[in-house]
Amino acid sequence: YFIGQYVSSMVKEKEDRIKEGMLVMGLSPAAFKLSWYLLGFFEGFVISLTLSIVYCASYFGNSSFFLLFMLLFLFSTSIVAGANLVACFFSKAQIAGLAAPFIFLATVIPRFATSNPDSLFMLNVLSAFP
């Protein structure tokens, strides 16, 4: 849900040409891009914090809260970076919102679908996926 909404919002903004209007009004391109990254990192932070609290209270009671939070937060930052990449390829927000989760799953599943991850070749191939 997070990646679909994030990509859909980015493409909707591109579709409505809001960026061009803001650049005409004097916003720097770096500030524009930084705003999207900060939004994604904030959403990822809130989701990671919530999941860490729930997981430490129920499933992973003996695990370190900080390590679990960092694992989830760093994973969410990789999702934000991947979502920014995926958003570049779409011009319609509805299609992007539907396709982004499938693209994400298509890049994650090969890592778990291999039967022998000990092979050096397979590790090099899988390193291309998030």
Alpha helices in the chain (DSSP H): 2-15, 18-24, 29-57, 65-87, 93-113, 120-126
Beta-carbon contacts of residue 55 (< 8 Å; ≥ 6 apart) = 63, 68
Q: What is the pLDDT of residue 112?
A: 66
Per-residue confidence (pLDDT) for residue 105, from 0 to 100: 84
How far is 19 from 41, CA to CA, in rounded Å?
A: 20
CA nearest to 10, candidates 30, 29, 33: 33
> Residue 117's pLDDT is what?
56
What is the pTM assigned to this prediction?
0.75
| pLDDT of 67 | 92
Along the 130 residues of the chain, how does pLDDT read in single tens digits? 678 888 888 888 888 888 888 889 998 989 988 988 898 899 999 999 999 999 888 888 888 899 999 999 998 898 888 888 888 898 898 898 888 888 888 887 766 666 555 666 666 666 666 6
Q: How far is CA 18 from CA 21, 49, 72, in A?
A: 5, 31, 32
